[in-house]
Amino acid sequence: MKPLICPTETKYTSLFINCGGPRTSFEGNDYEGDTTDRGPSYFSSPSDRWAFSSSGVYVGLQAASYIATNTFSLDVSGPDFYNTARLAPNSLKYYGLCLRGGSYRVRLHFAEIMFSNDSTYSSLGRRIFDVAIQGRVVLRDFNIMEEANGVGKVITKDFADVTVSSTLEIHLYWTGKGTNAIPDRGVYGPLISAITVTPNFKVDTGSGLPVGAVIGIVLASIVVVLLVFFALWKKGIFGGKNNQEELELRALDLQTGHFRLRQIKAATNNFDPANKIGEGGFGPVYKGVLADGAIIAVKQLSSKSKQGNREFVNEIGMISALQHPNLVKLYGCCIEGNQLLVIYEYMENNCLARALFGRDDQRLNIDWATRKRICSGIAKGLAYLHEESRLKIVHRDIKCTNVLLDKDLNAKISDFGLAKLDEEENTHISTRIAGTVGYMAPEYAMRGYLTDKADVYSFGVVLLEIVSGKSNTNYRPKEEFVYLLDWAYVLQEQGNLLELVDPRLGTNYSKKEAMRMINISLLCTNPSPTLRPSMSSVVSMLEGKLPVQAPIIKRTTSDDEMRFKSFEKLSHDSQTTQVSTYSQDSQGQSMNAPWSDSSVSVSVPGKDGNVTSSSRLLPDLL
């Protein structure tokens, strides 16, 4: 690992930290206190000897403590530091700074103090996490209670030969295993009581430096501190709330890379307008080429999006952990001065909407096999978000504009600007309805009832668009139909569903596969969310591993009236417009000219009768 900057010329040979507790002594050693409880995404360096960083948010908790205490008054044997501990929901790193190069013995102290030792529900919790030292995993699926043979029992883990050049890194991180709501919601993630680091080499106890040299070093250090303080003041670091947010952003422990501003400026030719490929909800998007030839997309968060910075701090760590072949990959971010940039993979063929519905010079000739692969890719990406990722996520804005295509026309889901964490025990009733007209599930658009089945509905609409090559919201076969989906219901009643297939395909498609995909679309867009399949089932259906029996949905006059009223309500009540990642003026003529489309975020009355404006729950990263 790359050593951190040492703030002093002094070289230390030991380190003692009481994680989550006050200063204390044990076996003749003074353990420094570690009582900062500042919440998620925080970096602290209490002294020049050590620092720690914490990232992540406890799912479902508005406010949570990141320091544990002996909740159940367990009889913990051993020193006092076992009665407290530091916690983190996702990632917790401790850094030993300015250590003299050599071999060290690292001892990690643990005691599970958040579960009970009786026969109640509170005793059923399981805390499981991994530990890495100097970037190498040393404990995998570590369970304190199991290793110590019970709660309130102490256990230490020794690592006898850890090589350190200057910085020691101890990384504890949650991998999604164990319980997360016993005895209360948010009880999971790494926990550690204390850290002991001692040298394996002989330490010279002499003063080492003459008095004059010590005085010179002290004076020089004071000058350096003053210069650093002046430089930070000039940059506005001590200027208020916005700058505090910037500090938090700088300290964020991302599971991605960090880029320097000069790298990004060089890659985008100093944000040359010629390299602009879109306008996202948070700011413009540029194409860039790094020094190694890698092509990237850079989202530059605009000043008007500063209100989203705190949400960005709290959630970007989780988004960066989403890794799937059918999700646009986040490479990292750049935070320098007033610049807040997000860097992710560049998609050569822009978005699916442009490929299917764009102008003649923008549309792509997508054959049947490729359309099937695109449908399968979108389904697999959603199945990952809903069922396979560590954090279950509802995207809320699945549409062709938010499906990007790489050079091989592989589909990747983007634009998590409206995404919401799926809290399984929540009723999902929300006053913040956000999405795109024509793609929102009826129970969500009309009642604010949100589950992952809302994404299933949107996927059904997209699937129908891919088969037909027509936009659900723009296609008007007859004036009495609001959407392409309405026309599909009529054709189903008439037994003519194959009329939906894109005529550009001619006869170069499988009628059997086309019927399967159309029936899956109708199944996914069932008005009843409970009758829609899960996305993992959809994947199996698309692959022919599960049978498909689409429902016969009879259209009635009242249904038509409700559709029109819903359409009019969403159109008139929309409060904000959020443009897709690659959206820009659709008049551009080059292949880089992005597709233009909008998502509408609707405000509805809350429980108090007031109108509640919609807001992003996860940053518009991708």
Q: What is the pLDDT of residues 267-301, one digit of tens each?
A: 999 999 999 987 755 678 899 999 888 899 998 87
Helices (H) and strands (E) counted in the chain, each on its own, are 13, 29
Cα separation, 331 vs 263, in Å, equals 14
Output the six-digit token pair for 27. Answer: 């076996």
Residue (of 183, 222, 220, 164) closest to 11 by Cα position? 164
How would DSSP label each residue in 15-29?
EEEEETS--EEETTE
Residue (of 6, 8, 618) closest to 318 by Cα position? 618
Cα separation, 461 vs 473, in Å, equals 10
Name residue 139's amino acid: L
pLDDT for res 485: 87
pLDDT for res 313: 47
Name residue 163's amino acid: T
- Per DSSP, the three-state class of 131 is strand
What is the set of active-site residues?
397
Contact 188, 88 (CB under 8 A): no
Three-state SS for 434-475 is EECCCCCCHHHHHHCECCCHHHHHHHHHHHHHHHHCCCCCCC
CA 254-255-259 angle, 5° bins: 60
Cα separation, 372 vs 514, in Å, equals 9
pLDDT for res 573: 47
pLDDT for res 552: 72
- Per DSSP, the three-state class of 165 is coil
Q: What share of the chain is helix, strand, coil (3-state, %, to 5)?
A: 30, 25, 45
- CATH fold of 352-581: Transferase(Phosphotransferase); domain 1 (1.10.510)
The series of mean pLDDT values per 10 residues for the chain, 622 residues long, is: 69 93 93 84 74 82 83 83 92 92 95 88 90 95 94 94 93 90 86 96 68 74 78 54 49 62 92 84 82 88 52 56 85 77 88 90 93 97 90 87 92 76 51 74 87 95 95 66 80 92 95 96 94 96 90 60 49 40 34 42 40 34 41
Residue (of 402, 405, 404, 381) closest to 393 by Cα position? 381
Three-state SS for 492-516 is HHHCCHHHHCCHHHCCCCCHHHHHH
Token pair 């020049």 is at which residue?
Answer: 48
Q: Which CATH superfamily is domain 249-345 in?
A: Phosphorylase Kinase; domain 1 (3.30.200.20)
Cα separation, 591 vs 31, in Å, equals 62
| Residue 269 backbone class (left: φ over 0; alpha: ψ -120 to 50; beta: rest) | left
Token pair 């709501």 is at which residue?
Answer: 181
Output the six-digit token pair for 91. Answer: 């990632």
pLDDT for res 56: 82
Phi, psi of 250 (to 5 degrees): -65, -35
Three-state SS for 137-184 is EEEEEECHHHHHCCCCCEEEEEEEEEEECCCEEEEEECCCCECCCCCC
Alpha helices in 193-308 (DSSP H): 211-234, 241-251, 261-267
pLDDT for res 382: 95
Query: Which residues partner with 173 through β-bridges?
Result: 91, 130
| Residue count of the chain | 622
Token pair 């007859």 is at which residue?
Answer: 478
Q: What count of other Cβ atoms lies within 10 Å of the Cβ of residue 509?
A: 19
Residue (of 196, 2, 39) closest to 104 by Cα position? 196
CATH of domain 15-199: 2.60.120
Residue (of 587, 582, 585, 620) closest to 601 by Cα position? 620
Output the six-digit token pair for 28. Answer: 């003749």
pLDDT for res 26: 93
